[in-house]
Amino acid sequence: MKWNKKHIFLTLFLPFQMVLMRLAARNPELIEHYYSNGIYPIISVFFRITLGWIPFSVGDFLLAFGLFIFFRFIFRLIKGELKNSIPKIFHFTSILSIIYFCFYLFWGLNYYRLPLSKNLNYEHQKYSNKQLQNVTEHIIKKLNEYQFKITKNDSLIVVPPYSHKEIYKMAISGYDNLSQIYPQLNYQYPSVKSSLMSGIQSYNGTSGYLNPFTGEAHINDKIPKSSSPTTTCHEMAHQIGYAAENEANFVGFLAANYNENSYFKYASYRMAFGYCFSEIKKRDNDLSKKLLATVHSGIIKDFRNSSLFWKSYRNPFEPIIKKGYNAYLKANKQDKGVASYNYVVDLLISYFETSETL
């Protein structure tokens, strides 16, 4: 039985890293200053410049290869084909230790930075039902306005006349405009690509993802294009260091909203409406029905089409995958897991109350 000292060291280093991450979670000011605004921008720009020009996803290939190696190892371990299995297990866990280290160094430490509300000087407080109603009514007004501006008919569905790749390029101008007001949201050197595994993403219920090891933003190019602008801006928000899903949603909303293109404007209010309306429905179902009656029928059809799209990909494994992702989010300081996506409503209310006339 051969033992590799490096494998043993790296395996023992894994729990030590986990303890360090616990400590990091308690020191968001240090993470914000030295990592999120220090070394991370250098790392992220390096990856985007190095890999952004490549027309296909390097991250998808790495992910597929990693999954192949993982399942191959598990299969061989179960079948008893691995001789001296204990040293092999140490070899495997040493690899996990390296992956864990790279994940947090290349991107994951952003989970422990200061809240975006502090970064943007927003007051983070519990909002009233009346505040939620006022903001939602304003969003509906703007959503109807852009739907009609684009289609000239309140019963028609908005369908962007651009390809997904064109949308990726157009999304940058929104960040350019946004950075004039919020310099901390500056985005340079794009690396946004259609995922080679868009079909798999559809089956596991995801619109996009950021590969933390390559810095590439991956978009599921099978999703309805009416939501592609905000999905793209959301993944770009991850690239500039906003790891929490609710914060990436809000930054994605802002970037789409500050884009001068009407389809991006529509997508931003569409996204904001979805979250705010969902929250109203939980609190006051009768009010939600009254508000829904004021939404143009073309918008209702748009949401219905999106719902039918995701329903067509439902499968028995999707809930299992979501539970796994839920556990991942909770492990990275998002205590409410997948439900933390809905906390974008707090930020939306702060934004609309301070930036637009309600």
User: Could you read off the pLDDT of 258-272 as tens digits, one per residue?
Assistant: 999 999 999 999 999
Residues 214-267: tens digit of each pLDDT: 999 999 999 999 999 999 999 999 999 999 999 999 999 999 999 999 999 999
Mean pLDDT estimate for the chain? 90
Which single residue is written with the structure tokens 């000292």? 5
* Cα dist from 357 to 80, 83, 87, 226, whole Å: 68, 70, 65, 26
The pLDDT score that the predictor gives to residue 1 is: 47
Q: What whole-number distance in Å separates Cα of residue 119 and Cα of residue 11?
A: 37
178-189 pLDDT tens trace: 999 999 999 999
For residue 119, what pLDDT is reported?
Answer: 85
Per-residue pLDDT reduced to its tens digit, 327-358 = 666 667 665 544 555 578 989 998 998 876 55
Phi, psi of 209, deg, nearest 5? -160, 155
- According to DSSP, the residues that pair with 219 across neighbouring strands are 194, 208
> What is the C-alpha separation between 136 and 348, in angstroms, rounded?
10
Contact 270, 226 (CB under 8 A): yes
- More confident call, 53 vs 4: 53
pTM (2 d.p.): 0.91
Letter for the amino acid at 345?
A: V
| Cα(257)–Cα(139) distance, integer angstroms | 12
pLDDT confidence bin for 113, thresholds 50/70/90: very high
Buried b (16+ CB within 10 A) or exposed e, 112-130: bbebbbebbebeeeebeee
pLDDT of residue 213: 96
**Residue 124 has what pLDDT?**
65
In whole angstroms, give the CA distance from residue 348 to residue 317: 33
pLDDT tens, residue by residue, 295-319: 999 999 999 999 999 999 888 876 7
